Amino acid sequence: MNTSTPTMAMPAQAEQRGRWSAARIVRAPLFGSLIALVVAIIIFSVLSPSFLTLANFSLILQQSVVIGTLAVAQTLIILTAGIDLSIGSIAVFGTIVLAQASGAMGPVVGLLLTLVVCVAFGAINGGLVTVLRLPPFIVTLGAFTAIVAATRLLAGSQTFPVSDPVVVFLGTSFRIGGFTTTYGVIAMLLVYIVVGYALTQTAWGKHVYAVGGNPVAARLSGVRSQRTIFTVYLLAGVIAMIAAWAALGRIPNADPNAFQNANLETITAVVIGGTSLFGGRGGVLGTLIGTLIVGVLRNGLTLAGVDNLYQNIATGILVVVAVAVDQFMRQKSTR
Amino acid sequence: MKKHLSQRWLVRGAAVFAVASLLGTTACSGGGDGAGDSEAGEDVKIGLITKTDSNPFFVKMRESAQETAEAQGAELIALAGEFDGDNEGQVAAIENLVSQGVQGIMITPNSSSGILAAIKQARDQGVLVVALDTATDPEDAVDATFATDNHAAGVAQGSWVKESLGDEDPQLVMLDGTPGGTVDTFRHDGFLEGMGLEEDSPEVRGMENTNGDQTKAQTAMENLLQRVPDVNAVYTINEPAAAGGYAAIKAAGKEDQLHMGSIDGSCTGVENVKNGVIGATVMQFPTKMAEQGVEAIVAYAADGTKPEAGFNDTGSVLITDEPVDGLESEDTTWGAENCWG
């Protein structure tokens, strides 16, 4: 189960250490998150008879689609030692564009326009970070504030129900054997697979880790750091568009007030998944586990009859624990 | 080697700590297994999904639902969205309740149309779904609605302000809620109807959105007073907005030239009516919504009886110590006995 995890999670550093060993798995940042996920599943299976069913796991996946997809974008940006406080807001803006444009010009034009808009926001963020060298925290804080307001202006404070089969396609369910799931879940997993592959198997992926982990070494070894960071923000825009499409599949109504916590929830998933806020360490597999931990917690505590607020307390504790582990790991590896 | 060991223990320790915190959270939350009286509602599970769990209105609704369910021997599972507009949270709550095998769900929808797909799925699986406080659009997306007629509540507020003005020409400012909100629109339009005005009447001198938030309302009123110094009539979406508005009015020394109305009927609001902060407020009854919702679901679980479809008005009452001719009202003493929050 966890033999294949380190390769996807730990880039070059781990591979240099050579042979696979039990000690290395235990040291992998993923190990802690994976244990937490497994233990959470065991606890909730004991607490609630309706938890450990295929139907319920299908629900957890469906409930995680939007945040889980956006968390991939957040992972990429955090790997470059940045942070994106606006990614959820970009997706919400995208849902309004998609609902309005597909109503007026058909679903294909709507999807394309949404892609253009989301990538444009990514380009603005990326441009400010790489060309003007402004801190990502400040850039995306400003973007978040402005985009939320722009979303309400664009929506005229209305909500837009959608029913076009293409626009709500990612909410369509289908069966695999005895397991019912939606195309949105498949889309989310595809985003993880594609980005995971790009990060671990391509030169671009190595560059992303390099510019986040050790910018000076990256520059000296000829990595075009600013260009790499810019592509990460563009890709985040693409992923935000996919999340917007998935959101309308799940709730076929574009609402400017939706997903207000998404920006921070993506950071939570990334951090619990073991990706370091200092950049250069972690990966999307960890983020997937982090997303599932949050989803399992919320669903499991609900089924166990526990107030949702406890879920937030547990999540908060997990975030701090995850960062504490990361800090410790960094001290070890720089000695 | 030693380094590896301590590292390994640290990660393990972290995992154990995370798990312990999980266990802790599950342990320190009292499981809501009320000892079931042998009543009609035995073995009935009822879900309640409010917009948020921080608003006293919904807290009261939740308490009342809990009491009614316990009296019937049913089990109540209360969930909520994280913020006003959290459709995703409400959809997830519906799904999780259906997973748990509830017979009925009561919901105060954040968006009157955003969660219809999830409601339909629940109803297709034989779950009775009733809306509380806010109707869905279309109304027949749920089995029944138990709510305040917000339009009528707006009319009552508007009529009181109009009668209080007497012969004065109204110079009206409006502290609105959230633009496009279902309830907000009903109250706003009802108020204007009660005043006998139109949206574009010259007497309507200014409108600001406050999101029903006291701080925002104060800022909005400060700005409006700059623009409309001769204001004599104020509409407010709810009592926090009224309290914020009054702070600005008092700071400007204009509290004697104004007639301000509100809607809600919280205990704080009734207290404010008594102290002259608000002229009159229109009380709603979240307890009735919850009681009728629980009773409908218990009846449905017992023998499949469905409630009266469509809109069931839970009523509203004008509360003021300055009654006007032709409008029924109760004083703040009655208000304090019947308020919520």
Question: Phi then psi for B174, rounded to 5 degrees?
Answer: -125, 120
DSSP string for residues in A14-75? HHHT-S--HHHHHHSHHHHHHHHHHHHHHHHHHH-TTTSSHHHHHHHHHHHHHHHHHHHHHH
**Is it the case that residue B210 has pLDDT exceeding 60?**
yes
Question: What is the average per-residue pLDDT within B271-283?
Answer: 97
- Tens-place pLDDT, residues A296-311: 998 998 888 887 778 8
Question: What is the average per-residue pLDDT within B323-329?
Answer: 94
Assess B92–A contact: CB distance below 8 Å, yes or no.
Answer: yes
Distance of CA A233 to the CA centre of its chain: 13
Under the banding of pLDDT at 50, 70 and 90, the label for residue B295 is: very high
Q: Which carries the bigger pLDDT value, residue B150 or residue B83?
A: B150
Q: What is residue B148's predicted lDDT score, i.e. its pLDDT?
A: 96
Residue for token digits 């009380």? Answer: B283
| Whether B101 and A50 lie within 8 Å, measured CB to CB | yes
Question: What is the average per-residue pLDDT within B139-144?
Answer: 95
Q: In one letter, which amino acid is B34?
A: G
Question: What is the average per-residue pLDDT within B201-213?
Answer: 93
Tell me which of A154-158, B27-31, B170-174 is least confident: B27-31
- Tens-place pLDDT, residues A234-262: 999 999 999 999 999 999 989 898 899 99
**Is it the case that residue A193 has pLDDT exceeding 50?**
yes
- Tens-place pLDDT, residues B238-265: 999 999 999 999 999 999 999 999 999 9
| Whether B111 and A255 lie within 8 Å, measured CB to CB | yes
Under the banding of pLDDT at 50, 70 and 90, the label for residue A98 is: very high
What does the mean pLDDT of chain B come to? 89
Distance of residue B79 Cα from the nearest chain A Cα, in angstroms: 7
What residues of chain B, 24 to 63, have a C-beta less than 8 Å from chain A? 25-26, 28-29, 31-32, 53
CA distance B128 to B41: 14
Question: What is the average per-residue pLDDT within B10-31?
Answer: 50
Residues of A whose CB is below 8 A from B117: 171, 251-252
Under the banding of pLDDT at 50, 70 and 90, the label for residue B58 is: very high
A165 token code pair: 């089969």
Q: What is residue B42's predicted lDDT score, i.e. its pLDDT?
A: 75
Pairing of strands A253-254, A160-161: antiparallel
Under the banding of pLDDT at 50, 70 and 90, the label for residue A323 is: confident
- Give residues with Cβ within 8 angstroms of B185, minimum separation 6: none
Tell me which of A29-33, A104-108, B62-66, B138-142 is least confident: A29-33
What residues of chain B, 253 to 292, have a C-beta less than 8 Å from chain A? none
Interface test with A, best of B9, B16, B26, B54 (most A CBs within 10 A): B26
**Is it the case that residue A15 has pLDDT exceeding 50?**
no
Question: What is the average per-residue pLDDT within B190-194?
Answer: 98
- Tens-place pLDDT, residues B21-43: 555 554 444 333 434 344 567 78
Under the banding of pLDDT at 50, 70 and 90, the label for residue B269 is: very high
| Cβ(A189)–Cβ(A275) below 8 Å | no
**Is it the case that residue B64 has pLDDT exceeding 50?**
yes
Q: Which of A47, A252, A299 sits opposite B26 (nearest CB)?
A: A47
* Percentage above 90 pLDDT, chain A: 69
